[in-house]
Chain A
Amino acid sequence: MTPARITVFAGHYGSGKTTLAVNYALRLAREGRRAALCDMDIVNPYFRTADYADLLREGGVELISSPYANTNVEMPWIPLESRRVLDDPALWSVIDLGGDDSGAMAIGRFAAALREKNAALWLVVNPCRPLTRDVESLREVRDAIEAAAGLRFTGMVGNANLGQETEMATVLSSLPLLRELSRAMDLPIIFTAVETSLAEEAAGALTPEDGALFPVTRYQKAAWSVWEPKKA
């Protein structure tokens, strides 16, 4: 698939936008493109692309981010540098938005330019999230985001996961629901994102309707991530 020069990841809070944006930007760089990841999250002061600064640098992705991301200064901030995402025709850019319509508002001011440049706007859906697991709720989220962004979605990304407890069954059982959501939203599934360790096994279960398989690495691991010793 030929990527759009600008790809925007939007969706419900906690749908996995940042994880996918990081993975996608790294992939663009691996394919030999000059890639940038632009953090336009004006909602969440935590779990930002800035957490991945080292990883992105090593992977050859330029990070365009607020100097206040992950600090004690809670300041909604659109980096001045984000202008280059629009203006530099040789820069393959990924935009990570904040959740819901409050997050999508950040690109509202760039709507005309993004339309003109045929930017891709993808709706990230994790059907394991309680407020986006049926057509009615997802439609509400989608409509609110489109209204705030002044843009229409061009595709959907399936990202079924339960964090560390994601199993093959989590992925497989979500496929029919994701297809149903895709049809109801009238948005093609561009990618089905699957944890790298499960990707090979999942590949066989995907149909053309599920889009391409997108192996995703969840890089977050914190001091408070507990693996309890298995009971004998």
Chain B
Amino acid sequence: MAEKVLMKGNEAVAEAAIQAGCLHYFGYPITPQTEIAAYMAKRMPKINGSFLQAESEIAAINMVLGAAAAGRRAMTSSSSPGVALKSEGLSYLAGCDLPAVVVNIQRGGPGLGGIQPSQADYFHATKGGGHGDFHMIVLAPSGVQEMFDLTGLAFDLADQYRVTSMLLSDGILGQMMEPVDLAAPPPRELPPKSWALTGTKGQRKPNIVNSLYMNPEDLERLVMERYERYAQIAAAETRWEEFLTEDADVVVVAYGALARVAKNAIAAARAQGIRAGLLRPITLWPFPKAALQALAGRAKAFVAAELSMGQMVEDIELAVRCARPVLRCNRTGGMVPTPEEVLQKLEEATA
């Protein structure tokens, strides 16, 4: 095992991108993700990469689109209000079938909201993220090691399926420091980027990257093909963690930093004799529906814990087809529940 280093979550994201061969970072500062840009600004010039502080979030995402169209690995990062601004570019990336990685270190909203952690962009990330029919792969890390690992995976998945991968994280994970093993993941075999705009050199017909179709039949066919790819992603790339679910009467569903709070609550519940467990989605899209359905056959109740007024809860209720009660545990605006607050819900669910 490689020697571990101590890193902030945001730094781990930046380092993972660099190790994944991302030489093009475009961003605009916003708390609590600025360390990503700061790290890139320091490192990129030393490895002949490009760091560019764009004039706006919208400019940055369109620079990513340009680099991606040229077949390069490119990334941008921001926090909630800034990611919302990128919605136009996210839709165009999908419409052009370009692989890219976008990081959202969420903060409280709506509007400018606050700078404390949040998970209130779940809808934005998992239900499109822009106009038109499309999905992004949404990865939700739960610690600094996963900030590193899932960023690398985000690049591979984006290239494999020609989609945008979004790392949906939050201010806690971005700012917290933990030891990280910077070992590279095993390489994936990825398709060649034969569609990229790299210059024909007179050897082939020009490639075209475009999202405008004058003929609705063509557009429908392309969108439908895209949805076949989404089905492949759902079948092959859905990821989740189960913690003490084998005998659980009540299962907390939580992701990201909040899943860690939930684990502490579950340990406390177990100490009181409550058989509690956790299902932690690692991909929020595709959502681990089948795993939840399986648990619905055994568990008596679920608790949807979120740093929002309840967004993922809708996917949980759909997944278990409302066959079991789903209690809610919500804090918002930058507030984080204590393990005791989650424990109280576990007690209610099993009362």
- Asked if A130 CB lies within 8 Å of chain B CBs, one says yes
Mark A100-137 against chain B: 1 for CB-CB distance below 8 A, else 0: 00000000000000000000000000101111010000
Q: Do the beta carbons of A162 and B4 come within 8 Å of each other?
A: yes
Closest CB in chain A relative to B49 CB, distance in Å:
16
- Contacts A128-B5, A223-B338 given; indicate if A163 touches B177 (C-beta within 8 A): yes
- Asked if B42 CB lies within 8 Å of chain A CBs, one says yes
- Asked if B100 CB lies within 8 Å of chain A CBs, one says no
Closest CB in chain A relative to B171 CB, distance in Å:
8
Q: How far is the CA of A33 from the CA of B7 in the complex (A)?
A: 35
Mark A163-188 against chain B: 1 for CB-CB distance below 8 A, else 0: 11100000000000000000000000
Closest CB in chain A relative to B117 CB, distance in Å:
9
List residues of A (187-232) whose CB comes within 8 Å of B's CBs.
222-226, 228-229
> Chain A binding site: helix, strand, loop or mixed by DSSP?
loop
Q: Do the beta carbons of B4 and A13 come within 8 Å of each other?
A: no
Q: Do the beta carbons of B8 and A229 come within 8 Å of each other?
A: no
Closest CB in chain A relative to B112 CB, distance in Å:
9
Q: How far is the CA of A131 from the CA of B334 in the complex (A)?
A: 30
- Asked if A45 CB lies within 8 Å of chain B CBs, one says yes
Q: Do the beta carbons of A45 and B115 come within 8 Å of each other?
A: yes
- Asked if A51 CB lies within 8 Å of chain B CBs, one says no
Contact of B179 among A133, A165, A222, A223 (CB under 8 A): A165
- Asked if B260 CB lies within 8 Å of chain A CBs, one says yes
- The number of residues on chain A lying at the interface, defined by a beta carbon within 8 Å of a beta carbon of chain B, is 25
- Contacts A14-B177, A72-B334, A130-B15 given; indicate if A223 touches B32 (C-beta within 8 A): no
Q: Do the beta carbons of A14 and B114 come within 8 Å of each other?
A: no
Q: Do the beta carbons of B5 and A133 come within 8 Å of each other?
A: yes
Closest CB in chain A relative to B334 CB, distance in Å:
7
- Asked if A65 CB lies within 8 Å of chain B CBs, one says no
- Asked if B339 CB lies within 8 Å of chain A CBs, one says yes
Contact of A224 among B35, B179, B336 (CB under 8 A): B336
Contact of B5 among A72, A129, A223, A226 (CB under 8 A): A129
- Asked if B263 CB lies within 8 Å of chain A CBs, one says yes
Mark B169-210 against chain A: 1 for CB-CB distance below 8 A, else 0: 001100111110010000000000000000000000000000
Closest CB in chain A relative to B32 CB, distance in Å:
7
- Contacts A72-B334, A223-B336, A223-B339 given; indicate if A46 touches B4 (C-beta within 8 A): no
Q: How far is the CA of A89 from the CA of B264 in the complex (A)?
A: 48
Q: Do the beta carbons of A224 and B257 come within 8 Å of each other?
A: yes
- Asked if B261 CB lies within 8 Å of chain A CBs, one says yes
Closest CB in chain A relative to B223 CB, distance in Å:
40
Q: How far is the CA of A174 from the CA of B175 in the complex (A)?
A: 25
| A224: chain B residues within 8 A (beta carbon) | 172, 176, 257-258, 260-261, 336
| A223: chain B residues within 8 A (beta carbon) | 260-261, 264, 336-339
Q: Do the beta carbons of A74 and B31 come within 8 Å of each other?
A: yes
Closest to B263 in A: A226
| B108: chain A residues within 8 A (beta carbon) | 72
- Asked if A161 CB lies within 8 Å of chain B CBs, one says yes
Closest CB in chain B relative to A16 CB, distance in Å:
9
- Contacts A130-B7, A130-B11, A130-B15 given; indicate if A226 touches B31 (C-beta within 8 A): no
Q: How far is the CA of A131 from the CA of B15 in the complex (A)?
A: 11
Q: Residues of B at under 8 Å CB distance from A?
A: 4-8, 11, 15, 31-32, 35, 42, 108, 114-116, 171-172, 175-179, 182, 257-258, 260-261, 263-264, 267, 334, 336-339
| Leading 10 A-B pairs by shortest Cβ distance | A72-B114, A224-B260, A162-B179, A128-B6, A130-B5, A226-B260, A165-B179, A223-B261, A46-B175, A224-B257
Q: Residues of A at under 8 Å CB distance from B?
A: 13-14, 45-47, 72, 74, 126, 128-131, 133, 161-165, 222-226, 228-229
A sample of 29 cross-chain residue pairs with beta-carbon separation below 8 angstroms, ordered by A number, consists of A14-B6, A14-B8, A14-B177, A46-B32, A46-B171, A72-B108, A72-B115, A72-B334, A74-B115, A126-B6, A130-B5, A130-B7, A130-B15, A162-B5, A162-B6, A162-B179, A163-B6, A163-B177, A165-B178, A222-B172, A223-B264, A223-B336, A224-B172, A224-B176, A224-B257, A226-B260, A226-B263, A228-B263, A229-B267
